[in-house]
Amino acid sequence: MIKFSDKQLKIPKMARPVYLATSGMSRFGRAFPTLRTEELCIEAFTAAADFIKMTPAELKQYIHTAYYGHFADHFGDQLLGEAVIHDRLGLDPLGTIGVKTGGATGGSTIWEAIKAVASGYSDCALAMGWERMDEVPTDEGNHLIACAADKDWETPLGHIYTGYYAVMAQRYWQIFGKAEDSFRKTMAEIAVKNRGYGRMNPYAHGGMKITVEDVINSPVVAYPLRVLDCCLMSVGAACGVVCDEKTAYELTDNPLRIWIGAGSHTLRVADRRDMKIPLLPNEEPGLYDDLGKRFPGGDRYPGFSSFLAARIASYYAYNMTGVVDPCEDLDVIELHDAFTISDIQSYEDVGLRPYGEGRDYIESGDGYHTNPKTGKPGRLPSNLSGGLIGCMHAVGATGLMQIAEIGYHIWNRWAEIHGDEKKWKKFGREKPKDWTDLQVKGAKRGLAISHAGVGSHVTATILMHPNHLLKED
User: Tell me, what DSSP letter sits at residue 466?
Assistant: G
459 Cβ contact list (under 8 Å, min separation 6): 104, 107, 108, 110, 111, 260, 261, 262, 263, 313, 399, 449, 450
Q: Is 5 left (phi over 0), alpha (psi -120 to 50) or beta?
A: beta
| 248, 380, 441 from 467: Cα distances, Å | 15, 20, 16
Pick the piece of the chain touching another protein (CB under 8 A) from 139-147, 233-241, 423-431, 456-464. Answer: 139-147
Dist. CA 153–CA 164, nearest whole Å: 11
> Pick from 152, 253, 289, 434: which binds another protein (CB under 8 A)?
152
Does position 273 bind another protein by CB under 8 A? Answer: yes
Does position 167 bind another protein by CB under 8 A? Answer: yes
In this structure, is the dihedral angle defined by the CA atoms of residues 114, 115, 117 and 118, taken in order, positive or negative?
Answer: positive
> Pick from 15, 87, 223, 442: which binds another protein (CB under 8 A)?
223
Q: Where are the alpha helices (DSSP H) in 105-180?
A: 105-118, 138-146, 161-175
Does position 292 bind another protein by CB under 8 A? Answer: no
> Closer CB to another protein, residue 166 or residue 404?
166
Does position 9 bind another protein by CB under 8 A? Answer: no
Q: Least distance from C-beta 213 to another protein, angstroms? A: 22
Whether the CB-CB separation of 358 and 345 falls below 8 Å is answered with yes
Is the preceding peptide bond at 93 cis, omega within 30 degrees of 0?
yes
Does position 403 bind another protein by CB under 8 A? Answer: no
Q: How many other C-beta atoms can be found within 10 angstroms of the C-beta atom of residue 15?
A: 11
Pick the piece of the chain touching another protein (CB under 8 A) from 49-57, 103-111, 154-162, 368-376. Answer: 154-162
Indicate the residue type of 452. Answer: A
* Residue 263 CB-density burial (10 A; 0-12 exposed, 13-18 middle, 19+ buried): buried
> Closer CB to another protein, residue 14 or residue 222?
222
Does position 171 bind another protein by CB under 8 A? Answer: yes
Indicate the residue type of 414. Answer: W
Pick the piece of the chain touching another protein (CB under 8 A) from 21-29, 103-111, 155-163, 371-379. Answer: 155-163
> Closer CB to another protein, residue 167 or residue 287?
167
> Closer CB to another protein, residue 304 or residue 427?
304
> Closer CB to another protein, residue 158 or residue 372?
158
Strands of 274-375 (E only): list them: 332-334
114 Cβ contact list (under 8 Å, min separation 6): 14, 18, 125, 242, 258, 259, 260
| x/- track of binding to another protein for residues 441-470 (CB under 8 A) | ------------------------------
> Pick from 5, 8, 34, 61: which binds another protein (CB under 8 A)?
34
Give DSSP secondary structure letters for 19-84: EEEEEEE---BS--TT--HHHHHHHHHHHHHHHTT--HHHHHTT--EEEEE-S-HHHHT-TTHHHH
Q: How many binding residues for another protein (CB under 8 A)?
A: 49
Element (H, E) at 130: strand 124-131
> Pick from 21, 116, 124, 145: which binds another protein (CB under 8 A)?
145
| x/- track of binding to another protein for residues 312-351 (CB under 8 A) | ----------------------------------------
Q: How many CA atoms lie within 13 A of 100 on its CB side?
A: 13
Q: Least distance from C-beta 454 to another protein, angstroms? A: 11
Q: Least distance from C-beta 233 to another protein, angstroms? A: 12
Please write down the HEC assignment for all residues of 336-365.
CCCEHHHHHHHHHHCCCCCCCCCCHHHHCC
102 Cβ contact list (under 8 Å, min separation 6): 71, 148, 395, 452, 453, 456, 457
> Closer CB to another protein, residue 221 or residue 277?
221
> Closer CB to another protein, residue 185 or residue 268?
268
Dist. CA 471–CA 473, nearest whole Å: 7
> Pick from 88, 143, 423, 468: which binds another protein (CB under 8 A)?
143
Q: Least distance from C-beta 397 to another protein, angstroms? A: 21
Pick the piece of the chain touching another protein (CB under 8 A) from 160-168, 246-254, 362-370, 399-407. Answer: 160-168
293 Cβ contact list (under 8 Å, min separation 6): none
Does position 30 bind another protein by CB under 8 A? Answer: no
Q: Least distance from C-beta 131 to another protein, angstroms? A: 17
- Site residues for another protein, 52-111, by CB under 8 A, read 77
> Closer CB to another protein, residue 141 or residue 278?
141
> Pick from 92, 180, 271, 328: which binds another protein (CB under 8 A)?
271
Pick the piece of the chain touching another protein (CB under 8 A) from 214-222, 320-328, 354-362, 373-381. Answer: 214-222
Task: Give residues in contact with another protein (CB under 8 A).
Answer: 1-3, 33-34, 77, 137, 139-146, 150-154, 156-164, 166-171, 174, 220-223, 268-274, 297, 304
